[in-house]
Amino acid sequence: MPEKKPSPPVEREKRTRQRKSGGISSSSKTVRQATDGKSFAKRRRPSMRAGLAVMGGRAAGAISRRLHLGGGTSIAGVVAQRLYPDIVNHLSSQLAYGSVLVTGTNGKTTTSGFIAAILSDAGLRVWRNREGSNLMRGIAGALVIRARAGGNLRRSGQAISIFEVDEAVVPHIIKAVPLRVAVFTNLFRDQLDRYGEVDSVSARWQQAVNALPKNTTLVLNADDPAVASLGETYQGNVVYFGIDDASLDLVTQGISPERHQTIDTRTCAKCGNELTYTLRFYSHLGHYHCPHCGSTRPQAEVRATSITLNAFDQLRITIATPTQQGEIVIPLPGFYNIYNALAAIAATQALQINWEPIVSGIQQFKPAFGRGERVQVAGRTIRILMAKNPTGFNEVLRTLFSDGEKRRVLLILNDNIADGRDVSWIWDVDFERMAQQTASLTATGTRALDLGLRLKYAGIEPQAMSIIPLAPLRADNSKDAPAARMLEYKAGDAMSNGRLNGTQAAKPGVKVAQKHGLANALDHALQETPVGETLFVIPTYTGLLDIHRELERRGLTPHYWEEKGP
Amino acid sequence: MNDTSKPLFTLTLGHLYPAQLNLYGDRGNILTLQRRCQMRGIALRVVGLGIGDALAPDEYDLLFIGGGQDKEQAPVAQDIFEMKGIGLWAAVEDDMPVLAVCGGYQLLAHYYRPAIGPDMRGLGIFDAWTIHKGTHMPRCIGDIAISWNGSTLVGFENHGGRTYLGTAKPLGKVLKGHGNNAEDHSEGAIYRNAYGTYLHGSLLPKNPHFADHLLALALRRSYELSDEDLTKIFPRYLSFQERPAQAKREKKRAARKNGASSEINGVIPVRSDLDDTLEWEAHAYMLERLGLRHAAGAALRQR
């Protein structure tokens, strides 16, 4: 939904000039000045409407929470926007320390998590849209729940807000929210049925960036040609981040880049010819140049110069920035988190944050919801690593299956609207990597059968996996239904009631009636995981919500909207 | 799998523009053909044909072309016309099985008219053309099921252009979904053994009968197998046959190369009994969620 009235550029300039350029010590409040009668009238009406919108939104949120429909943040945003379409602009321009936008296909949540941790370690009050969705209504909701009935923010807006934004919504946010920093992490194919093709997203981003006021700092991934090209024509400050460690190159590591990767940007943004890579880290991220028009990867200012893997979820990276050099340990699994950390470092340095909070913010980071978080269940550990598109999935598989250790895995493939209705993309994921590498493998979700089929064609033997669909096929009358054939454990044991007693209750060879549903799939996967071992859960986006709800139902994790901020 | 014995049949699949036209998981089609051949002891070699490579029809037994982004499709359109056009035409006229999905399908028709900009010329193998009616027209997106030779095909479609058929025969009738143009219930196009379709999903994994149909056509053409032999490899082969033209051609070929097929007769290796349970269940699941319960039941009986 497009915002109807972006604030006039003159106003915006005034506001931002009052901040000391980029300094965090400045706390001057926005001063609204009416230039003529007409705009004065326009200004006065909103605050009444804004108050109404805030009250309406919060009431709707409270009702939704009361009825257990969810966190109630999105609905608060929807109602508030309905009552006053400019509510996001109205509230966000009151923020004393401004706003940071984080967008991109992968890494949004972790990057904004890093930034939030760093900023709160630096002593700032940080507001995020973590409770709600990353669409416009989620942003609106996050502001509304922090506003007073009078249409002003609480605590006189003495906070900095970090907005994690869906890649398709970026143009609307840029119009509505005065931004200090805009971070673009990367651009991969994702939900082609919803976003359209990669090129159309990058065209929309380019337009959005052109509309940015010049005092916004752009933080861009130098290694992603589709993202780096956004900075070429931008008049304001641009900070690039990237990796300068040649030992991470796929070819150096003996991985054929074409076989194991889906490459989403092949051509030069300027002239449309094929790019040449000297280093390729994954997908189309690397050191590239265009042999035709000569455009090259921009030199990164915030760089990772060397990277060592301490443990499966401990990456030690050496960082070099124009002002600082040092080591940081990223406590998360996955190579892609290097980019997330670099993006956060670049963004917070643009906000003039010191080095100490940067180090502590990243090193003591607790992984968010589905990004490597850890849950203890009856002596077993569950680690949840969301994967929602081919590149993200490939990187998760690379993280889990590169050291030759056999893993226990539960895959959840959903095709709800938020996941994208099309599951064709699973055929671009390199599941072949998992063959003979799993100690146990369970597939579930609304498209469990498609996933099972993909795994079958990846060379995984039928007896090495269990397929547990969410519901039986109605047309299937035979007793010998799929789940029954593949599931060999006793029905109705303690597991299915959510109470694990730690002992192996499985009686192999006992064929049972069909098992369906996520709860059974989780039980099955846990049952195949011995005490002390780790079960890796790889869900799509709504699969993550489902598994969280299930864990929540068993009292293992708090409601996601009740989680305390960092 | 009888890996130890030398494969009796070797097929070569030409994969056109694997780097440029690979947007919607169409790699699954290649994986499916590969694996189904492997399970039957048929050797399938996949050769990628990129921009600048010529297409020599003699070197291939079947061809596949997928879909891509508009930006990547433009150089491909030029290359397919200049470098591969004649080879492709010759191959199609010689009954080589060709599967063209989405963008590839559009490129094999007469032209693609984008919302803005000049027409993109196609090869005209299918007497059909595609028009993008502008961004105000919603894309055809969603699950789709079509009827095909007394059976069903299921997949996912995602295309902005609307394709209209001239004399080309449609691949099937739309049961649920949009199809070629969301107007006339047609989906895809057939010319000789060339098949154009909008079905992703990927198409072949969930439609094992169609995958086998393509392989059977390739074996029939390259090894001059009779229907009887083919039925030994693909037990359901005949149930998806409908064209008398094929039979006529078969006779012609048999007359030309007399007795060639009877030599092979009897030594067919075959693992004809592939376990396609999961394939048909995934197929039936799609039909069921589209509300086609009858067809779903029929699909489950196939397994």
Chain A residues with CB-CB distance to B299 below 8 A: 475
Q: Can you give the pLDDT at residue B170? A: 96
Does the pTM exceed 0.90? no
Are A423 and B201 within 8 A, CB to CB? yes
A275 φ, ψ (degrees, to nearest 5) = -80, 150
Name the closest residue on chain B to residue A449, using Cα atoms. Answer: B282
DSSP A448-460: HHHHHHHHHHTT-
How many other C-beta atoms lie within 10 A of the C-beta of residue B131?
Answer: 18
Buried b / exposed e along B32-44 (16+ C-beta atoms within 10 A): bbbbbbbebbbeb
DSSP A354-396: -HHHHHHHHHTPPPPTTEEEEEEETTEEEEEE---SHHHHHHH
Chain B residues with CB-CB distance to A449 below 8 A: 278, 281-282, 285
CB A305 within 8 Å of CB A318: yes
- A419-446 pLDDT, tens digit per residue, is 888 999 999 999 998 989 999 999 999 9
Chain A residues with CB-CB distance to B279 below 8 A: 453
- Compute the half-sphere exposure of residue A524: CA atoms within 13 Å on the CB side of its CA: 31
Distance of CA B19 to the CA centre of its chain: 19
A interface test, pick of B278, B279, B290 with most A CB neighbours within 10 Å: B278
Are B281 and A426 within 8 A, CB to CB? no
Strand-pairing partners, residue A162, are A100, A128
How many other C-beta atoms lie within 10 A of the C-beta of residue B57?
Answer: 18
Domains defined along chain A, listed by start:
9-363 (3.40.1190.10), 371-562 (3.90.190.20)
Which residues are CB-neighbours of B266 under 8 A, at least 6 positions away?
Answer: none
User: Residues 157..216 of A with a Cβ closer than 8 Å to B: which?
Assistant: 189, 192-193, 197-199
Owner of token pair 């060379």: A459
Chain B residues with CB-CB distance to A390 below 8 A: 25
Q: Is A306 on the interface with B (CB under 8 A)?
A: no
Domains defined along chain B, listed by start:
7-303 (3.40.50.880)
Distance of CA A240 to the CA centre of its chain: 20
Q: Min CA distance, A277 vs chain B (Å)? A: 15
Rounded CA-CA distance A304/A298 in Å is 15
Are A452 and B278 within 8 A, CB to CB? yes
C-alpha separations of B291 from B187, B294, B299 in Å: 19, 9, 14
Q: Can you give the pLDDT at residue A494? A: 36
Q: Min CA distance, A81 vs chain B (Å)? A: 25
Are A427 and B25 within 8 A, CB to CB? yes
Are B284 and A473 within 8 A, CB to CB? yes
Of the candidates B24, B27, B72, which has its C-beta nearest A267's C-beta? Answer: B72
pLDDT in single tens digits along all 303 residues of chain B? 444 456 788 999 999 998 888 877 788 999 999 999 988 889 999 999 999 999 999 999 999 999 887 777 778 888 998 999 999 999 999 999 999 999 999 999 999 998 888 888 899 999 999 999 887 888 899 999 999 988 999 999 999 899 999 999 999 999 999 999 999 999 999 999 999 999 998 999 999 999 999 999 999 999 988 888 888 888 777 777 655 445 555 555 555 544 444 344 444 444 556 888 899 999 999 999 999 988 998 888 877
Sheet holding B186-187, edge to edge: B151-159, B140-148, B172-176, B186-187
Q: Is B158 on the interface with A (CB under 8 A)?
A: yes
Q: Is A421 on the interface with B (CB under 8 A)?
A: yes
How is residue B217 written in tokens?
């056509």
Q: Is A266 on the interface with B (CB under 8 A)?
A: yes
Rounded CA-CA distance B5/B269 in Å is 10
Q: Can you give the pLDDT at residue B100? A: 96
Q: Can you give the pLDDT at residue B7? A: 75
Comparing C-alpha atoms, which of A399, A392, A401, A402 is closest to residue A426?
A392
Q: What is the residue type of A378?
A: A
A465 φ, ψ (degrees, to nearest 5) = -140, 155
Q: Can you give the pLDDT at residue A25? A: 38
B interface test, pick of A417, A450, A451, A479 with most B CB neighbours within 10 Å: A450
Sheet holding B111-113, edge to edge: B120-121, B111-113, B128-131, B162-165
Catalytic residue ranges of B: 102, 200
Rounded CA-CA distance A52/A71 in Å is 21
A interface test, pick of B24, B35, B280 with most A CB neighbours within 10 Å: B24
B interface test, pick of A260, A389, A391, A424 with most B CB neighbours within 10 Å: A424
Q: Min CA distance, A197 vs chain B (Å)? A: 6
Helix, strand, or coil (residue A549): helix
Q: Can you give the pLDDT at residue B114? A: 84
CB A233 within 8 Å of CB A240: no
Buried b / exposed e along A538-556 (16+ C-beta atoms within 10 A): bbbbbbbbbbbebbeebee
Of the candidates A198, A425, A449, which has its C-beta nearest B281's C-beta? Answer: A449
Q: Is A552 on the interface with B (CB under 8 A)?
A: no
Rounded CA-CA distance B106/B124 in Å is 9
pLDDT in single tens digits along all 566 residues of chain A? 443 344 344 333 333 333 333 334 333 333 333 233 333 233 434 577 888 888 888 888 888 777 766 666 778 888 888 888 888 888 888 888 889 999 999 999 899 999 999 999 999 999 888 765 788 888 888 888 888 877 788 777 788 999 999 888 899 999 889 999 999 999 988 877 666 677 888 889 999 999 899 899 999 999 999 999 999 989 999 999 999 988 877 766 666 655 556 777 778 888 878 888 988 888 889 999 999 888 899 999 999 999 888 877 888 999 999 988 999 999 998 888 999 999 999 999 999 999 999 999 999 998 877 888 888 888 999 999 999 888 889 989 988 988 788 999 999 999 998 888 899 999 999 999 898 999 999 999 999 999 999 999 999 988 889 999 998 888 776 544 444 444 443 333 334 433 343 333 333 333 333 688 999 999 999 999 999 999 999 999 999 999 988 998 888 876 554 444 33
Are A424 and B156 within 8 A, CB to CB? yes
Rounded CA-CA distance B150/B129 in Å is 27
